[in-house]
Amino acid sequence: MKSIVVANWKMNPPTFREAKKLFDATKKAAERCRDISLIIAPPAIYLHELSANYKGKRISFAVQNAHSEESGAQTGEISIAQARDAGAGYVLVGHSERRAVGETNDDTRKKVAAALSLKMTPVLCIGETSRSSSGEHFSIIAEQLLAGIRDVPPAKISKVIIAYEPVWAIGGETTMSPRDMHTMAIFIRKTVVGVYGDVGHKVTILYGASVGEQNATAMMRDGDVRGFIVGHVSTNAERFTALLQALKKES
Ligand code: 13P
């Protein structure tokens, strides 16, 4: 099974010219990695031009956010249908940086269901903002997870990607340990199986928070994940290339 790497460019780079340069470098790196499915989530304003000019098969596109309604009076929003029309096959839902500006569990429920109904793949992002020894983060994760998949019929649960992003580890150089990720992956799968039965085992789990060339291989080997969602390293062509190369050696 191919591993999955999502490049979440967030609000970078500042110009289309630079985005094109980053895309070209990323494309080159992706072409050398047959066993990795690469999904690029550029700022939405760059999406159509990048996807329309890409003729290869190795890269897919995602939007970093989209509205669950198909159209209407929603100033400043982009619908999932519009994202699909612009070339996206994936939608990030409930990223912690969206939750921080007001996205709720109920919004994620609607977006996940809307994405699936338009045959797009939702990447449901879940993660606690902090951890204490009480283990409270497990109930936060269960709540975010169960809310996000609540309207997903059993036949479609295997199409949902769950991206676990511990918010406290985003943006730095320290990841959570692969051992802790393994525990979390078991918890996530158990929670999904608790609702859906055995088919829940098919859910895809990614890890995301400070993933780089220095820590990705250990996480891939021992973290029980299918791949990663990568933030700041994905906008550094040299480091992202090194990351893909490291994963290639691992697979
Ligand atoms: P960093 O890789 O910059 O920690 O960001 C993680 C993230 O938020 C990916 O969606």
How many Å lie between the centroid of ligand 1 and the Cα of residue 47? 19
Q: Which residue's CA is the nearest one to ligand 1's atom 7?
A: 231
Whole-prediction pTM: 0.97
How many Å lie between the centroid of ligand 1 and the Cα of residue 62? 15
Distances in whole angstroms, Cα of residue 122 to Cα of each of 21, 37, 111, 147 = 27, 15, 8, 14
Residue 15 near residue 50, CB atoms below 8 Å: no
Asked about 165 being catalytic, the answer comes back as yes
The total number of residues written for the chain in this structure: 251
> Which domains are assigned to the chain?
3-250 (3.20.20.70)
Residue 60 near residue 5, CB atoms below 8 Å: no
Asked about 201 being catalytic, the answer comes back as no
Distance CA 88, CA 44 (A): 9
Q: Write out the chain's pLDDT in tens, 251 residues.
A: 899 999 999 999 999 999 999 999 999 999 999 899 999 999 999 999 999 999 999 999 999 999 999 999 999 999 999 999 999 999 999 999 999 999 999 999 999 999 999 999 999 999 999 888 888 999 999 999 999 999 999 999 999 999 999 999 999 866 799 999 999 999 999 999 999 999 999 999 999 999 999 999 999 999 999 999 999 999 999 999 999 999 987 66
Ligand 1 atom showing the smallest separation from residue 210 Cα: 4
137 in contact with ligand 1, CB cutoff 6 A = no
How many Å lie between the centroid of ligand 1 and the Cα of residue 176? 13
Q: Which residue's CA is the nearest one to ligand 1's atom 9?
A: 231
Distance CA 6, CA 50 (A): 16
